């Protein structure tokens, strides 16, 4: 159920940050030496150690005795934290950290606190736990890749003044949700989703800080540049439904491909993920991945069901989005509708990469072990017909690019324009220009409720999963009207009643022209079989549900409803119709006399009440009074009185009926 490179000023901030950290190390070491020197001069009272004892002036860890062993362990712990072992140089998430200058002093102070505590996780976790919340949420409408239901997750405060909580996209949810956050002292506040990324697995909730009466949480600092292979981490959150769990791990990879959660589900792409064997499970989504200084180095997003591996989203793109959300500004997201993958140089050589290009890239980016290659191009997108699968990206706008962060930094700053793309294809280099579209424009922000069902436009997520163009009307929930035509969830509607439905506006216009109680053809295809068009007859009944359109306010995250004009319910004008019935053989003469009285009943439930698990029931009935039009059937065919019934006579004439009597037993 999982991202921007900084400019020169941020590089300088990083240099200052590293120097500040080294000074704190020196200060902490000096304090330890001073404390040790003081202990050599202090005489302890006899009541404490059973005599007048003076510490040896030239003590070393090699000295024997329990006290010496305790001092040796303390000294070893100090060295393990402030003088970490050298590790092999690994590609980091970003060469230039995307951090704010005002956070540097806070981080240095935090490291000093840890230094004074001799590198213990206890004070770090004590501070962090007050800022980590358990999230209870209910998705109230099926929408896009999401289905309605309840779930629990985790989030953490990233701005205590603005009341911003960071969590995953699949927690914040693109669909309408009702959510609450429970803090460590069991205070509960309402949450309002304010932003979710169109592709990457992160989003922000907002709460009212004034609603917290008994605690004041501190924001957890985001430090994407600190992620390193071999770093000890703690994942703190609502793991497996528990209010608080603390899971330990060690970062093993910084360049893992984004995890795949299944076709038709939400999936992240065009980003690296971090990996560690922390064994997270359901409920831990949105947990901070903390270092020993209490900074978040990544965001927990998912895990493997067959191993202890957990997958964390890097924070680079999150830091950028947080800064814009704080200022109340939109978050630009550009796309050329192509998916990329990071391949090592040995695989790139098989794609034809020239050794001279590889040499130049290795010299320019010594920490990187590969480059980006095109994995797939979205049909109908800006890159369709320009890029091909297997193309190797060399540069964007003349700037060499080897990772996702740099690529997205250029794309996000070019929305509505174009980028110059240099690629290597086969044995030649090609230069081209590709338009950059707005990713939010191909991410649905509207849906229509009709006949108990929900439809929205085909999103970038859905289109990518099935390799179809973005656009069209997607059935997120069929309800009893669309379900009567077998247009179930996962269908894309092409036309209704002979009127094309290329988008949501076309669907509203086509459906509004129908008559309540009528039966019209509906043309659609299932996403699992996009090349197989289906045509069915749909029963139009809108008197059970209002027809409404919901639109998401991009600034506040609220969904605003607008009532639509539903098809009118007019008196049914039934013209006399003739039909013929085949005769049964003479051996079935008694049945031949009953045969004209047999009808076929199609019953549709608008609501799942009274224990109903299905919305459609089929069965036979018998005409018992042709003058008054009474038909008798069993309760398996018409289980409840709430619903619409359609009667088929002589296998050709279909009329609407109603339930006049239902036996209570």
Mean per-residue pLDDT for 532-559?
Answer: 91
* Residue pLDDT, tens place only, 436-489: 999 999 999 999 999 999 999 999 999 999 999 999 999 999 998 999 899 999
Which residues make Cβ contacts (< 8 Å) with residue 359, sequence separation at least 6?
none
Residues 294, 220 contacting (CB under 8 angstroms): yes
CA distance 124 to 114: 7
Whether this prediction's pTM lies above 0.75 is answered by yes
Q: Confidence class of residue 8 from pLDDT cuts 50, 70 and 90? A: very low
Tokens of 242: 């528990």
Among candidate residues 521, 519, 515, the one with its CA nearest the CA of residue 533: 521
Say which of 2, 144, 201, 268 is annotated catalytic.
Answer: 201
CA distance 407 to 341: 12
pLDDT of amino acid 103: 42
Q: Confidence class of residue 143 from pLDDT cuts 50, 70 and 90? A: very high
pLDDT of amino acid 119: 63
Is 170 an active-site residue? yes
Percent of the chain with pLDDT over 70: 81
Alpha helix (H) ranges present in 194-336?
A: 316-326
Say which of 134, 167, 284, 484 is annotated catalytic.
Answer: 284
- Reported as type and span, the H/E element at residue 657 is strand 653-657
Mean per-residue pLDDT for 654-664?
Answer: 90
Average pLDDT of the chain to the nearest whole number: 82
pLDDT of amino acid 556: 86
CA distance 525 to 527: 6
Mean per-residue pLDDT for 370-395?
Answer: 96
* Residue pLDDT, tens place only, 502-518: 999 999 999 999 988 88
Higher per-residue confidence, 299 vs 72: 299
DSSP state of 415: T
pLDDT of amino acid 371: 97
Residues 164, 192 contacting (CB under 8 angstroms): no
* DSSP per residue, 515-534: -BT-EEEEEEEETTSTT-EE
Residue 267 predicted with pLDDT over 60: yes
pLDDT of amino acid 280: 82
Helices 104-116 + 66-82 axis angle, to 10: 170
Alpha helix (H) ranges present in 140-202?
A: 169-172
Say which of 94, 134, 170, 295 is annotated catalytic.
Answer: 170
pLDDT of amino acid 574: 64
- Reported as type and span, the H/E element at residue 407 is helix 404-412
* Residue pLDDT, tens place only, 403-430: 999 999 999 999 999 999 999 999 999 9
Mean per-residue pLDDT for 192-200?
Answer: 96
Percent of the chain with pLDDT over 90: 64
Which residues make Cβ contacts (< 8 Å) with residue 24, sequence separation at least 6?
108, 111, 112, 115
Lowest mean pLDDT among 81-90, 239-248, 615-624: 81-90
* DSSP per residue, 206-238: E--GGG--S----PPPB-GGG--TT-EEEEEE-
Residue 243 predicted with pLDDT over 80: no
The dihedrals phi and psi of 504, each to the nearest 5 degrees, come to -65, -35
Is 201 an active-site residue? yes
Residue 195 predicted with pLDDT over 90: yes
Q: Confidence class of residue 579 from pLDDT cuts 50, 70 and 90? A: confident
- How many secondary structure helices (H) and strands (E) does the chain include? 14, 36
Residue 374 predicted with pLDDT over 70: yes
Mean per-residue pLDDT for 305-324?
Answer: 93
Is 543 an active-site residue? no
Mean per-residue pLDDT for 355-370?
Answer: 94
Alpha helix (H) ranges present in 468-517?
A: 479-484, 504-512
3-state secondary structure of 127: helix
Residue 578 predicted with pLDDT over 90: no
Mean per-residue pLDDT for 351-359?
Answer: 95
Residue 583 predicted with pLDDT over 90: no
Residue 513: alpha-carbon gap to chain centroid:
37
Q: What angle do CA 312, 316, 322 make, to 5 degrees?
A: 105
Residue 89 predicted with pLDDT over 50: no
* Residue pLDDT, tens place only, 38-58: 433 333 333 333 333 333 333
pLDDT of amino acid 244: 84
Characterize the bridge pairing of strands 43-44 and 453-457: unpaired
Among the ranges 78-92, 445-459, 575-589, 650-664, which has the highest mean pLDDT value? 445-459
pLDDT of amino acid 571: 64
Tokens of 344: 């090592």
- Reported as type and span, the H/E element at residue 116 is helix 104-116
Higher per-residue confidence, 150 vs 665: 150
Mean per-residue pLDDT for 74-90?
Answer: 31
Residues 437, 370 contacting (CB under 8 angstroms): no
Residue 63 predicted with pLDDT over 80: no
Tokens of 606: 């608008």
* DSSP per residue, 416-484: TSEEEEEEEETTEEEEEEEE-EEGGGGS--EEEEETTEEEEEPPHHHHHHHT--S-SEEEEE-HHHHHH
Residues 489, 447 contacting (CB under 8 angstroms): no
CA distance 445 to 557: 10
Q: Confidence class of residue 496 from pLDDT cuts 50, 70 and 90? A: very high
């Amino acid at each position: 159920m999982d991202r921007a490179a900084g400019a020169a000023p941020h590089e300088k901030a990083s240099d200052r940050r590293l120097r500040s950290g080294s000074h704190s190390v020196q200060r902490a070491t000096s304090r330890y030496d001073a404390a040790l020197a003081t202990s050599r001069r202090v005489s302890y009272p006899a009541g404490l150690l059973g005599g007048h004892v003076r510490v040896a002036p030239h003590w070393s860890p090699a000295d024997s005795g329990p006290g010496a062993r305790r001092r040796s362990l303390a000294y070893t712990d100090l060295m393990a934290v402030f003088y970490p072992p050298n590790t092999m140089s690994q590609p980091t998430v970003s060469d230039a950290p995307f951090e704010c200058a005002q956070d540097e002093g806070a981080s240095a102070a935090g490291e000093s606190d840890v230094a004074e505590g001799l590198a213990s996780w206890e004070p770090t976790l004590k501070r962090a736990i007050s800022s980590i919340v358990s999230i209870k949420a209910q998705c109230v409408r099926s929408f896009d890749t999401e289905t309605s239901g309840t779930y629990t997750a985790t989030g953490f405060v990233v701005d205590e003044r603005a009341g911003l909580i960071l969590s995953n996209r699949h927690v914040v949810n693109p669909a309408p949700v009702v959510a609450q956050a429970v803090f460590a002292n069991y205070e509960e506040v309402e949450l309002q989703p304010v932003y979710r990324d169109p592709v990457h697995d992160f989003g922000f909730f907002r709460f009212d800080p004034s609603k917290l009466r008994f605690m004041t949480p501190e924001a957890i600092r985001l430090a994407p540049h600190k992620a390193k292979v071999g770093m000890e981490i703690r994942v703190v959150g609502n793991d497996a439904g528990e209010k608080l769990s603390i899971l330990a791990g060690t970062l093993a990879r910084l360049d893992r491909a984004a995890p795949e959660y299944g076709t038709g589900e939400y999936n992240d792409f065009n980003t690296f993920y971090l990996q560690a064997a922390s064994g997270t499970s359901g409920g831990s989504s949105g947990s901070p991945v903390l270092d020993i200084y209490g900074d978040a180095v990544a965001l927990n997003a998912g895990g493997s069901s067959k191993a202890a591996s957990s997958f964390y989203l890097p924070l680079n793109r999150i830091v950028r989005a947080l800064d814009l959300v704080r200022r109340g500004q939109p978050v630009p997201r550009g796309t050329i509708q192509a998916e990329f993958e990071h391949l090592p140089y040995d695989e790139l050589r098989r794609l034809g990469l020239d050794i001279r290009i590889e040499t130049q890239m290795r010299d320019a980016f010594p920490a990187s072990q590969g480059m980006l290659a095109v994995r797939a191009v979205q049909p109908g997108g800006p890159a369709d017909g320009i890029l091909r699968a297997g193309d190797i990206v060399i540069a964007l706008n003349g700037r060499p690019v080897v990772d996702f962060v740099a690529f997205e930094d250029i794309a996000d700053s070019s929305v509505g324009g174009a980028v110059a793309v240099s690629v290597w294809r086969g044995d030649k280099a090609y230069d081209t220009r590709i338009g950059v579209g707005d990713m939010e424009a191909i991410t649905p922000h509207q849906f229509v409720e009709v006949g108990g069902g929900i439809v929205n436009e085909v999103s970038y997520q859905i289109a990518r999963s099935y390799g179809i163009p973005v656009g069209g009307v997607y059935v997120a929930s069929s309800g009893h009207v669309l379900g009567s035509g077998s247009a179930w969830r996962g269908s894309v509607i092409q036309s209704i009643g002979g009127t094309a439905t290329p988008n949501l506006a076309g669907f509203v216009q086509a459906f509004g022209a129908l008559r309540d109680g009528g039966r019209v053809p509906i043309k659609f295809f299932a996403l699992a079989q996009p090349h197989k068009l289906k045509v069915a007859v749909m029963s139009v009944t809108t008197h059970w549900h209002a027809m409404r359109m919901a639109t998401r306010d991009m600034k506040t995250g609220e969904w605003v409803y607008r009532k639509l004009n539903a098809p009118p319910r007019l008196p049914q004008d039934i013209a006399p119709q003739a039909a013929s019935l085949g005769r049964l053989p003479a051996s079935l003469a008694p049945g031949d006399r009953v045969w004209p009285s047999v009808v076929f009943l199609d019953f549709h439930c608008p609501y799942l009440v009274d224990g109903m698990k299905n919305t459609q029931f089929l069965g036979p009935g018998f005409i018992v009074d042709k003058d008054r039009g009474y038909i008798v059937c069993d309760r398996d065919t018409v289980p409840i009185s709430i619903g619409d019934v359609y009667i088929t006579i002589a296998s050709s004439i279909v009329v609407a009926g109603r339930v006049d009597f239902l036996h209570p037993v």
